[in-house]
Amino acid sequence: METIFVAALVSLLYAILNICRYLHRKSHQRSCCYMLAYQCHVAPDDLKLSTGTCSKIVLRTIISSGVGEETYCPANILQGRETSPSLHDSLQETDDVVFSTLDTLFATSGISPSQIDILVTTVSLFAPSPSISSRIANRYRMKEGVKSFSLAGMGCSASLVGIDLVRRLFTVRPNAFALVVSTENIGAHWYQGKDRSFMLSNVLFRTGGASILLTNDPSWKGRAILNLVASARTHLSSDEAYGAALQVEDDQGYRGFRLSKHLPQAAVEALVHNFRVLLPKVLPAWEIARYVVVYSYTFCKRRRRTPLINMKSGIQHFCVHPGGRAVIDGVGRSLGLGEEDLEPSRMTLHRFGNTSSGGLWYVLGYMEAKKRLRGGEKVLMISLGAGFMCNSCVWEVLRDVGDVNVWGDCIQRYPPLTLVNPFADKFDWIHQDYMNFIRLEDYDRAQFDM
């Protein structure tokens, strides 16, 4: 009798999920979102920040963070002017990233700036007036009717907020072209105090960014490389989640980012809520049904360990935000991913550091440079950010792609035989207990309770 009940439950769930998926596909057929091209930023060699150079600037580089010797930082940091950054420094830092990526994107795509209908910029820590989107529109003489948005304060997850915003605007704007431009301003926000718990931003964050060209014009599908299948946004509003990653001043009045003890729990909770929305849209109905049955059985038996859902049943590639080694490790464990799945994120962190909201596109670029993306495969992007937010989306690869893009000068060296840094012994204080603020393995019981 129990077997018959379980079989009937699975059949019912399967039918419901298939109906929901059909309705979801029908609604999205009215508003497709194709990615035509994207371009990441590579700074000039004179802005490279090795750990040796960093230690000469200030003795606060954490070597076991996973960041390598060829990342980049703003000119005012290398020139020793981190204590007195000017407005010109911030504008120059932003312009270098934004304009270089857009120049390349327009030249390679064949799309003119005058054809852009929607413009979204995501820069969390720098909001000049006129806005960054206005600077772009002015430089490229975009048409008067362009709909521009400048998103600030959303942290590392902002780029996918921009993608989701474009997707929603596409529903009321047919045959349009859109740009999402994502970067971060580092030079004016270099922590200058001595509190080690504030130093993570100096350790991980580096100069970088990306510009992404999108369209919902069906006639351009043949030239597109990806199609947006689904997206999900989660924003926790509790006091603990809000304060998990907060820009504040230390006891000496130096501004920096404080990461609280609530960060691991906020990250897990946001991820769980986000995947409850996203996964039923992208994973096979039979896998969702299997998970519900196994989870129900485990719950009834009062077993401590929650089963993992099989992410690879519907997704082949994983762009985990390269926010730091602990973040990559924790998300990988929570999703049941192997080293090959996490390699693109680890290598991006090593080569480019944490470039904030632009980081996911370097991860995608690594996959493309390694010729791993094949037509019909699915790519999951996951980002976490202050607020506390978790944003994600799934792309379908429309054709085999293999452009080496910004990885062209180094892709043959990756992955290296070791990621161990020669300064590891000097900076081994990272292993002290108070730095273990985002070890998600302590929260495995919160795994994806659908």
Given 185, 202, 274, 354, which residue is catalytic? 354
Quick one: pLDDT at residue 63?
47
Query: What three-state secondary structure class fits 299?
Result: helix
Nearest to 345 by CA among 410, 403, 414, 405: 414
Give the pLDDT of residue 195: 80
Sign, Cα dihedral of 28, 335, 63, 84: positive
Those residues of the chain that have pLDDT short of 50 are: 1-2, 4-6, 8, 28-29, 57-63, 425-426, 429-450
DSSP state of 415: S
Q: Three-state DSSP class for 320?
A: strand
Q: State how far the alpha carbon of 444 is from the alpha carbons of 22, 187, 358, 435, in Å.
A: 32, 37, 28, 20
Q: Which of 321, 390, 393, 421 is catalytic?
A: 321
Per-residue pLDDT at 383: 94
Instruction: State residue 94's pLDDT score.
Output: 94
- Check if 350 is active-site: yes
What integer pLDDT is reported at residue 308 of this predicted model?
79
Q: What is the pTM of this model?
A: 0.84
Q: Check residue 226 and give left, alpha or beta (phi > 0: left; psi -120 to 50: alpha).
A: beta
Q: Of 41, 189, 262, 350, which is the active-site residue?
A: 350
Kindly report the number of other CB atoms within 10 A of residue 422's CB atom. Answer: 11
Which of 71, 120, 132, 101 has its CA nearest to residue 361? 101
Catalytic residue among 41, 189, 262, 317: 317
Q: Look up residue 124 and give its DSSP letter.
A: S
- Contacts of the segment 291-296: beta carbons below 8 A, 24+ positions apart: 291/448, 291/450, 292/13, 292/450, 293/6, 293/9, 293/10, 295/449, 295/450
The Cα–Cα gap between 122 and 322 comes to 17
**216 in active site:** no
Alpha-carbon span 273 to 296, nearest angstrom: 18
Cα separation, 291 vs 266, in Å, equals 24
28 a catalytic residue: no
Residue 315 has which token pair? 């997704």
Catalytic residue at 354? yes
Among 40, 189, 216, 235, the active-site one is: 235
Name the catalytic one among 156, 319, 390, 393: 156
